[in-house]
Structure 1
């Protein structure tokens, strides 16, 4: 037995990311690929408030009819003019019918979907430096034209 203390989570950010319809690339040598353009959005929470800048994307690898790996890259801008780059890797799983409904941009109860991520941040803003040197985890939900994430710092 060790004296290590299990980590706790502290909520730091709430993201509402506006997305366009997915571009279906199709079956490639690396699996079925989809690209979801990021149109903008909002950031709130105890760490910062601001916006999601347009221009990022969510690159998806559909591994099966029940599992999708995601890699999103985009930029946040605080209401103080600070920029934060985010690379958010995750996985989304659910029943075959629920995942098919999500891919068709139809509503699905978030309780039926496992949507977790490990965001990594980069910023030069001193006030937000904890984003650079802490581990974070996210929990997500998909709605029509929108991806919602709550981001937690691992203590």
Structure 2
């Protein structure tokens, strides 16, 4: 499946012992492919930007299918920008995806019988950061 996730500007909490903490609110989006529907507004991605430029991501959000079934998503991952683009990324600039390793491991939870199988499989996500949203392609591990 593919998700196009609309996001707000980061809310920066500042430097902590592990790095810069920020929270990015999810405004909504679309879901296509094996699951069709929308990304519900109200989720968030909590991030730690480490001194070496690696970003640890921990997102929580919900999907609503076109059949009105709700699927909760816990999606953890990492984003690492290649040198010499790390400073530009730290300034908030969008870096061409060929210079960014951005992978996630989504886990799905639902009471829907139609989508119960999502809880019994493992998935990998490959993401791209765009100016106003995230494109996330999710693949089932066979």
Q: TM bucket by the smaller chain?
A: over 0.9
Q: Which residue of 1 aligns with 2:13?
A: 25
> What's the CA shift for 1:104?
4.2
Assess, with a 3 A threshold, how the Cα gap between structure 1 residues 86 and 103 changes in structure 2: closer, same or farther.
farther
Q: RMSD in angstroms over aligned alpha carbons? A: 1.5
Secondary structure of the residue that 1:70 maps to in structure 2? Answer: strand
Moved over 4 A (4+): none
Q: Which residue of 2 aligns with 1:149?
A: 136
Q: TM-score, normalised by structure 1?
A: 0.85
Given candidates 101, 119, 125, the residue that maps to 1:138 is 125
Q: Choose 1 or 2 for highest CA Rg.
A: 1
- Which ranges in structure 1 are unaligned for 5 or more consecutive residues? 1-12
Q: Which residue of 2 aligns with 1:67?
A: 54
Q: Which residue of 2 aligns with 1:35?
A: 23
Number of aligned residue pairs: 142
> What's the CA shift for 1:96?
4.7
- Which ranges in structure 2 are unaligned for 5 or more consecutive residues? none
Higher relative contact order (CA 8 A, sep 6+): 1
